Amino acid sequence: MAIRVLVVDDSRFFRNRLKALIESDPELEVAGVAEDGARAVEEALRLQPDVITMDVEMPVLDGIAAVRRIMSRRPTPILMFSSLTREGAQATLQALEAGAADFVLKRFDQWARDAAEAGRELCRRIKALARGRRPAAPPSARLAAGPSAAAPLPHAAWRAVTAPRREAARAASGGLAAVLIGASTGGPAALQQVLAALPPAFGAPLLLVQHMPAAFTPLFAQRLDALSRIRVREAADGDPLVPGQALLAPGGRQMTVETGPGGARVRVREARPGETYRPSVDLCFASAAEALGGRVLAVVLTGMGEDGRRGAERLKAVGAEVWAQDEATSMIYGMPRAVAQAGLADQVLPLERIGPRLAAKA
* Catalytic residue of the set 140, 184, 280, 330: 184
- Determine the pLDDT at residue 131: 86
Q: Is residue 311 part of a domain?
A: yes
- More reliable by pLDDT, 142 or 272: 272
Residues 209, 163: one domain? yes
- Name the pTM for this structure: 0.83
- Determine the pLDDT at residue 121: 86
Number of domains comprising the chain: 2
CA dihedral 125, 126, 131, 135 (to 10 degrees): 100
- pLDDT band at residue 157 under the 50/70/90 scheme: very low
Any idea what the CATH number is for the domain that residue 80 is in? Answer: 3.40.50.2300
The pLDDT of 31-36, averaged and rounded, is 97
In degrees and rounded to multiples of 5, residue 8 shows phi and psi of: -125, 115
Active site residue 211: yes
CA dihedral 345, 348, 354, 358 (to 10 degrees): -40
User: Last residue of some domain: 99, 131, 163?
Assistant: 131
CA dihedral 223, 361, 190, 252 (to 10 degrees): 60
The answer to whether 127 and 102 are in contact (CB under 8 A) is no
Partnered with residue 246 across adjacent β-strands are 206, 232
* Closest alpha carbon to 200 in 153, 237, 133: 153
Alpha helices in the chain (DSSP H): 12-23, 37-47, 63-73, 86-98, 108-113, 115-131, 139-145, 155-172, 187-196, 217-227, 281-292, 309-317, 335-341, 351-361
Which range among 48-57, 158-167, 282-291, 326-335 shows the weakest confidence by mean pLDDT? 158-167
Residues 179, 85: one domain? no
* Closest alpha carbon to 220 in 257, 246, 258, 259: 246
Residues 34, 154: one domain? no
With a CB cutoff of 8 Å and minimum separation 6, the contacts of 258 are: 264, 265, 266, 267, 287, 291
The answer to whether 180 and 209 are in contact (CB under 8 A) is yes
- pLDDT band at residue 87 under the 50/70/90 scheme: confident
- Which residue type occupies 88? G
- Determine the pLDDT at residue 175: 72
Q: Is residue 143 part of a domain?
A: no
Residues 164, 108: one domain? no
- C-alpha 334/C-alpha 107 separation (Å) is 26
- Please list, residue by residue across 332-361, b when 16 or more beta carbons sit within 10 angstroms of its beta carbon and e when fewer do: bbbbbbbbbebebbeeebebbbbbbebbee
Residues 93, 194: one domain? no
Q: Is the pLDDT of residue 240 over 70?
A: yes
Residues 195, 268: one domain? yes
Which segment, 104-108, 167-171, 221-225, 258-262, is predicted with the most confidence on average?
221-225
Active site residue 114: no
Q: Is residue 157 part of a domain?
A: yes
Q: Is residue 145 part of a domain?
A: no
* Closest alpha carbon to 91 in 214, 215, 190, 224: 215
User: Last residue of some domain: 131, 158, 178?
Assistant: 131
- Determine the pLDDT at residue 293: 96
Between helices 217-227 and 187-196, what is the axis angle to 10°?
30
* Catalytic residue of the set 36, 55, 82, 211: 211
User: Last residue of some domain: 131, 165, 197?
Assistant: 131
Any idea what the CATH number is for the domain that residue 197 is in? Answer: 3.40.50.180
Domain that holds residue 47: 3-131
Residues 53, 7: one domain? yes
* Catalytic residue of the set 36, 307, 326, 330: 307
Active site residue 282: no
Residues 213, 288: one domain? yes
Q: Is residue 140 part of a domain?
A: no
Q: Is residue 142 part of a domain?
A: no
The pLDDT of 25-45, averaged and rounded, is 97
Mean pLDDT (the chain) is: 87
- Determine the pLDDT at residue 117: 78
* Closest alpha carbon to 105 in 120, 116, 89: 89
Q: Is residue 189 part of a domain?
A: yes
Tens digits of residue pLDDT in 292-351? 999 999 999 999 999 999 999 999 999 999 999 999 999 999 999 999 999 999 999 999
Q: Is residue 137 part of a domain?
A: no
Residues 155, 284: one domain? yes
The β-bridge relationship of strands 263-270 and 253-260 is antiparallel
- C-alpha 170/C-alpha 164 separation (Å) is 10
- C-alpha 282/C-alpha 289 separation (Å) is 11
Q: Is the pLDDT of residue 361 over 70?
A: yes
Sheet holding 78-82, edge to edge: 28-34, 3-8, 51-55, 78-82, 102-105
Residues 334, 225: one domain? yes
Residues 124, 154: one domain? no
Residues 9, 38: one domain? yes
Considering the chain, what percentage of its residues have pLDDT values greater than 70?
86
